[in-house]
Structure 1
Amino acid sequence: MNIYLLQVSWGVTIGVAVGALILLWIILYFIPIGLWFRAIISGVRISLLQLIVMRWRRVPPSAIVDALINATKAGLILNSDQLEAHYLAGGNVRNVVMALISADKANIDLDFNSATAIDLAGRDVFEAVQMSVIPKVIETPPVTAVAKDGIQLIAKARVTVRANIRQLVGGAGEETVLARVGEGVVSSIGSADSHKAVLENPDIISKTVLKKGLDSGTAFEILSIDIADVDIGKNIGAELQTDQAEADKNIAQAKAEERRAMAIAEEQEMKAKAQEARAKVIEAEAEVPMAISEAFRAGNLGLMDYYRMKNIQADTDMRDSISEPKEGGKDDDDKKKK
């Protein structure tokens, strides 16, 4: 019986101890005494009730207290209500405080409202402040342009930019800056009379581009544009002339083919006309015997007249046969003798 009572007492003691530990953990969770003590010794004036209320609002007290400690040690004056409101709005409290500290040390005019607005806009405000202190170098992709002499140039540029804090909200990003710089490079090379002038003085491109104010409306301030590399590409002018010459040749060939077709058609037409004339001659010759017969019947042609006409016709045929060259004439005989 005594052993049973002893076991029961030990079980009750262990249960009470576990319950006490759980209760102590709950109390320390909702009443962060250690965090409150750390804030007090760091110079941050915050009440224990405020930390408890933060728990109820589902705001981590450690994030607010750590941010207040960093700001206080850096000489900034912030209150917990501002940081809580920014956290509940979905902002990054630590980034905002670090950005304010960096801006204060670098003598950059940045207040709490501007920093929270930049953070809530989706930009990294701490990185923007760092970029204002240490400019960033952006390298453009290869930009292809053609000078007036028809030679293609391929240029690469390095753009040194600094973040413009006042235009971070609503300002264009790096892609816009790169697009504008590429457009300026193309315009500068295209306005050059010769590609040699660009190769001799590549700073012509950077000076021309800088004058155009390409950082207007962007979240950056362009400090410098340096031409990193310029390569010679194709001879676009020669290729265009070659293409034009090929097109002209094709046009001339087409016109010549058209004239040849017209000549062939005209030749065929003349042959048809010749055949038609020959048919008329044959038709007329066929009427001669009929006319002779009619003359005999009418007594307009006698027998002697007819024989005389036949003799004249035979003489004419003989002369025609003599005047025509014979195949295999004297030259052919000479060749056979040799």
Structure 2
Amino acid sequence: MEIATLVTIGVFIVGLWLFFYIFPISLWITALFSGVSVNLFDLVFMRFRKVPPSLVVNAMITATKAGLKDVTINQLETHFLAHGNLNAVIKALIVADKANMNLSFKQATAIDLAGRDVLHAVQVSVTPYVVVVPEITGVSIDGIQLLAEARVTVRTNLQRLVGGAGEETIKARVGQGIISSIGTAKNYLQVLENPESISKSVLANGLDAGTAFEILSIDIADINIGNNIGAMLQIDQAAADLNVAKAKAEERRAMAVALEQEMTARVQEAKAMVIVAEAEIPAAMSDAFRKGILLGKRK
């Protein structure tokens, strides 16, 4: 009898737990007292769609208390099923609303589903932050190398956040602009005296086009003098010219040596011919004596 009673009590407890799990009455009551109108059966159906009712209802309560009017239960559930971050979206909408920014629920969810941190994006849009550009090397017209460091103050452009380029593009464009500005300077002193001219020149090029940010300012934090590239190039050119001259001189010397050897060979050949001719003289004289040519007689 005791075992049957224990089994009955156990079944009753499990059934009661299962009932309150399927029918989240406490959550439904909390939503009603928070001013959120939601059907109890909608919460039950969320269980079957594998959507946590507490997450959706709590997000809806937060949105309602913050005064967000364009958010519905169905939108929150749909965004969750699309693997979105409900809490980040709601917090971002609240921050945007308090800052009087024009951000709709559709835009916020699009930013979130695009893989961006929507809350961070809104916070950066409200409070700009600084992008540090690594040291950029440029060379002025007079050949002096300059090393510049820049700080770019940006804020998020929510309208271009989806599909817009990120920080690396900003850094690359600013670096390119600094190199171009230094390269057009007549001498390095002009750059050192007016570093703000670089900032103005770079900022005027519209470097934030097509990016997810709006550039507020570009500040040159530091400029250092590097190597005298012009002098180094001249030294290298002089060394190259010297090597070319040495090669040509060696070529001329080799040709002179070859010509000398050829002339020596010709002289030796001529001497050999003279020796041969001298060797034939005695024989010719003997033949002349025999024939009496030397005596003026002929046989």
Matches within 5 A, 1:175-324: 175-301=168-294
Q: Residue 66 in 1 paired to residue 58 in 2?
A: yes
Indicate yes or no: 2:33 matched with 1:46.
no
> Counterpart of 2:18?
26
Residues of 2 paired with 1:238 and 1:132: CA distance? 47
My pick for the range that moved more, 275-284 or 31-40, is 275-284
Indicate the SS of the match to 1:149: coil
1:327 maps to none
Listed one character per residue, the Cα deviations across residues 126-155 of structure 1 (whole Å, up to 9, x for unaligned) are 111111100121101111121111121111
One-letter amino acid of the counterpart of residue 171, structure 2? L
1:131 is aligned to 2:133: no
Over the matched positions of the two proteins, sequence identity in percent amounts to 60
TM-score normalised to structure 1 length: 0.83
Inter-partner Cα distance in structure 1 for 2:165 and 2:207: 11
1:150 is aligned to 2:143: yes
Letter in 2 for 1:62: S
Cα distance per residue 1:204-242 (max 9 Å; x no partner): 211111011010001110111111121222222122112
Kindly provide the amino acid, as one letter, of the partner of residue 231 in structure 1.
N
Once the two structures are superposed, what CA deviation does each residue of 1:24-50 show, in whole Å capped at 9, x if it has no partner?
111111111111111111111112222
CA distance in 2, matches of 1:111, 1:229: 41
Tell me which residue corresponds to 1:169: 162
Unaligned runs of 5+ residues in structure 2 are none
Deviations 1:27-86 (A, max 9, x none): 111111111111111111112222112112111111111111111111111210111111
What amino acid does structure 2 have at the position aligned with 1:202?
P
RMSD after superposition: 1.5
| Structure 2 partner of 1:80 | 73
Letter in 2 for 1:203: E
> Counterpart of 2:111?
118
1:97 aligns with 2:90: yes
Corresponding residue number in structure 2 for 1:13? 5
SS at match of 1:64: helix
1:109 to 78, 84, 102: 102
- Partners in 1 of 2:205 and 2:134 — Cα distance? 20
Return the alpha-carbon distance in structure 1 between the equivalents of residues 88 and 107 of structure 2. 13
Report the structure number with the largest CA radius of gyration: 1
- What letter is aligned with 1:52? V
Per-residue deviation, 1:15: 2.2
SS of structure 1 residue aligned to 2:134: coil
Q: Which amino acid counterpart does residue 96 of structure 2 have in structure 1? A: A
**Cα deviation, residue 14, structure 1:** 2.5
2:106 alignment partner, SS class: helix
- Between the aligned partners of 1:117 and 1:278, the Cα distance in structure 2 is 103
TM-score (norm 2): 0.94
Query: Residues 123-182 of structure 1, C-alpha deviation per residue, up to 9 Å, x if partnerless?
Result: 111111111100121101111121111121111111111101111111111111111111
Cα distance in structure 1, aligned partners of 2:90 and 2:149: 38
The DSSP-based 3-state class of the residue aligned with 1:72 is helix
1:277 counterpart letter in structure 2: A
Shift of 1:295: 4.1
**Residues matched between the structures, number:** 294
Cα displacement (A) at 1:276: 1.6
**Residue matched to 2:28:** 36
Higher relative contact order, chain-length normalized (CA < 8 Å, sep 6+): 2
Report the alpha carbon displacement of residue 18 of structure 1 after superposing the two structures with TM: 2.1
Q: Which AA in structure 2 matches 1:35?
A: L
- Secondary structure in 2 matching 1:296: helix
